[in-house]
Structure 1
Amino acid sequence: MQNEPLVSVIIPTYNRGRLILDSVTSVLNQTYKNIELIVVDDCSTDNTEEILKSINDSRIKYVKLEKNSGACIARNKGIELSTGEFIAFNDSDDLWITTKLEKQLCFLKNYNADIVICKMECRTPENKFIHNFPNIDQNKQISYEEILKYNCASTQTIFGKSECFRNVMFDTRMPRLQDWDEVLRLSQKYRIFYQNEILVNTFFQKESISTHPEKAVLAMQKIFEKHKDAILSDPAIVESFFKKKASFVCKTGKNPKEEMKMILKYNPSAGTFIKSFLSALGLYKYIFNLKQKF
Structure 2
Amino acid sequence: MIRSKVSIIIPAYNAADYIGRALDSVLCQDHHPLEIVIVNDGSTDNLEDVLRLYLWDERVKYIATENRGISHAINTGLKLATGEYICFLHADDIFLPGKIKRQLSSMERASRSGVSYTDASYFLEGTSRVVKSPYVHFSGDIFYFIKRNNFIHMSTVMLRRDLFEIAIFDESLACHEDWDFLLKLSAAGIRFQYVDEILSNISVHPKMLSSNTQVMDATRSEVGLRARRLWKAFKSDISPFSAKGISNLKRYAAFKIYALTIGFPNSAKFNIEAPSALLARS
Report if TM-score (shorter chain) is over 0.5. Answer: yes
State the partner residue of 1:18.
17
- Quick check: 1:103 aligned with 2:102? yes
Corresponding position: 1:219 with 2:244: no
Number of residue pairs aligned between Structure 1 and Structure 2:
245
Label 1:140 to 1:226 Cα distance change in 2 as closer, same or farther (>3 A): closer
Tell me the residue number matched to 1:63.
63
The correspondence of residues 75-94 of structure 1 with structure 2, limited to 5 A, is 75-94=74-93
Q: Which has the larger radius of gyration?
A: 1
Please, which moves more after superposition, 223-232 or 119-128?
223-232
Report deviation, 1:237. 8.0
Cα deviation digits, residues 149-177 of structure 1 (max 9, x gap)? 34211110110101113431111122222
- Counterpart of 2:91 in structure 1: which amino acid? S
**Aligned twin of 2:192:** 192
SS of 2:147's equivalent in the other structure is: helix
Looking at structure 2, the residues matched to 34 and 208 of structure 1 have their Cα atoms a distance apart, in angstroms, of: 35
Question: How far apart, in 2, do the equivalents of 1:70 and 1:211 lie?
Answer: 17
| Aligned-partner Cα distance in 2 for 1:207–1:62 | 28
- Cα distance 1:152–1:210, how it changes in 2: closer, same or farther (>3 A)? farther
The aligned residue for residue 201 of structure 1 is: 201
Q: 1:41 to 1:210 in 2, by over 3 A?
A: farther
Deviation at 1:142, TM superposition (A): 4.6
1:8 maps to 7
State the alpha-carbon separation in 1 of the partners of residues 64 and 132 from structure 2.
Answer: 33
How far 1:209 moved relative to its partner? 9.0
Q: Does structure 1 conserve the Cα–Cα contact (< 8 Å) formed by 2:139 and 2:191?
A: no
Q: What are the residue-to-residue correspondences of 1:156-167 with 2, within 5 Å?
A: 156-167=155-166
Amino acid at match of 2:195: Q
In the superposition, the TM-score normalised over structure 2's length comes to 0.77
What are the equivalent positions in structure 2 for 1:115-130 lying under 5 Å apart? 115-130=115-130
Change in Cα spacing, 1:237 to 1:173, as seen in structure 2 (3 Å) is farther
Amino acid at match of 2:220: M
- Identify if the C-alpha distance between structure 1 residues 147 and 231 changes in structure 2 by more than 3 Å, giving closer, same or farther: farther
Cα distance change, pair 136–196 in 1 and its aligned pair in 2 (3 A): farther
Matched position secondary structure for 2:36 = strand
Letter paired with 1:128: S
Contact 2:120–2:199 (8 Å) recurs in 1 = yes
Offset at residue 239 of structure 1 (A)? 7.6
Contact 1:231 1:237 in 2 (8 A): no
1:72 aligns with 2:71: yes
* Aligned-pair CA distance for 1:126: 2.5
Which segment drifts farther, 48-57 or 68-77? 48-57
Q: Does 1:228 align with 2:228?
A: yes
Normalising to structure 1: TM-score of the pair?
Answer: 0.75
- For 2:122 and 2:227, the matched residues in 1 are separated by 28
Alignment of 1:25-64 (within 5 A): 25-55=24-54, 56-64=56-64
Partner of 1:133: 133
Q: Does 1:144 align with 2:143?
A: yes
- Once residues 11 and 102 of structure 2 are traced to their aligned partners in structure 1, the CA distance between those partners, rounded to angstroms, is 23
> C-alpha deviations, 1:268-294, integer Å up to 9, x for none?
xxxxxxxxxxxxxxxxxxxxx9xx869
Q: Secondary structure at the match of 1:128?
A: coil
Matches of 1:107 and 1:192, distance apart in 2: 12
Structure ranking higher on relative contact order (CA contacts 8 Å, 6+ apart): 2
Match of 2:168 in 1: 169
2:178 partner amino acid? D
Cα shift at 1:45: 1.5
CA distance in 2, matches of 1:79, 1:166: 12
Q: Displacement of 1:222 after TM fit?
A: 1.3
In 2, Cα distance between equivalents of 1:68 and 1:133: 31
1:129 positional shift: 3.4
2:9 partner SS: strand
Unmatched 5+ stretches in structure 1: 249-288
RMSD: 3.0
- Rounded Cα–Cα distance in structure 2 between residues aligned with 1:167 and 1:293: 39
C-alpha displacement of 1:134 = 5.0
Structure 1 CA distance, aligned partners of 2:220 and 2:13?
25
1:135 CA drift (Å) = 2.6
